[in-house]
Amino acid sequence: MSEITNIGVGTRIKEIRNQQNITLKQLSESTNLSIGFLSQLERGLSNVAIDSLQKIANALQTPIQEILDTRQIDEEDLSPLLRTYDRKITVVNPTLYSCVLSNSVHNLSFLPRECHLQPSGIENFDIQTYSHEGYEWIYVLEGNLRVTIDREQIDLYPGDTITIDSTKLHNWQNCGSKTAKFITINTPNPFKK
């Protein structure tokens, strides 16, 4: 299996924010992301879209690579083939890890990823939603995934797909008892050069 690089995205954001003496309120104002969402993110209780992460990186005047370890994405390897055993895994927070499904992600207009989301352990907690530009397509491989779009909750099971207009408030969570494994494709791709 690929090496797991334990980069706690939320922990890293909090660390950089504290180094710069920026409050959650100030970060919220400069990113248009709620204080509650940022607090949950820093504690590893919420997922974050790549472009929301880019807003945070911009507000902290920090390259996104320092928050999300994109050094794992080998810019020199332009092979169209990526073997399962060569995938690089990034731990996004304590319940979510993902891997990019392409060697040449810097040349793509979309971002393909495989995600593994642990159960939340809470059936009906109030999930923080967010919006961003673009679209997100999800295909569930294993387990089940609850997607919230503008307060509507949709349960997805293996084989189900959903396309999300990311400008609508949305997020996803695992309310099941097993790990949810799914493919997600986001556009635009924040790593495109």
- Sequence-distant (6+) residues with CB within 8 A of 173 are 117, 120, 125, 127, 145, 146, 148
* pLDDT score at 162: 97
Fold of 4-187: Jelly Rolls (2.60.120)
Biggest CA pair distance of the chain? 46
DSSP state at residue 11: H
Task: Indicate the SS3 state at residue 18.
Answer: helix
71 or 17: which leads in pLDDT: 17
Model confidence at 160, pLDDT cuts 50, 70, 90, reads: very high
Poorest-confidence range of 49-58, 64-73, 145-154, 175-184?
Answer: 64-73
Model confidence at 98, pLDDT cuts 50, 70, 90, reads: confident
- Determine phi and psi for 132, rounding to 5 degrees: -165, 175
* pLDDT score at 187: 93
Starting at the edge strand found earlier in the chain, the sheet holding 89-93 runs: 4-5, 89-93, 96-100, 111-117, 180-187, 135-142, 161-165
pLDDT mean over 10-37: 90
* This model's pTM is above 0.85: no
pLDDT mean over 24-43: 88
pLDDT at residue 147 greater than cutoff 50: yes
pLDDT at residue 29 greater than cutoff 70: yes
Domain ranges for the chain:
4-187
Report the DSSP beta bridge partners of residue 91. Answer: 97
Closest CA to 72 of 89, 85, 57: 89
End-to-end CA distance of the chain: 29
Model confidence at 55, pLDDT cuts 50, 70, 90, reads: confident
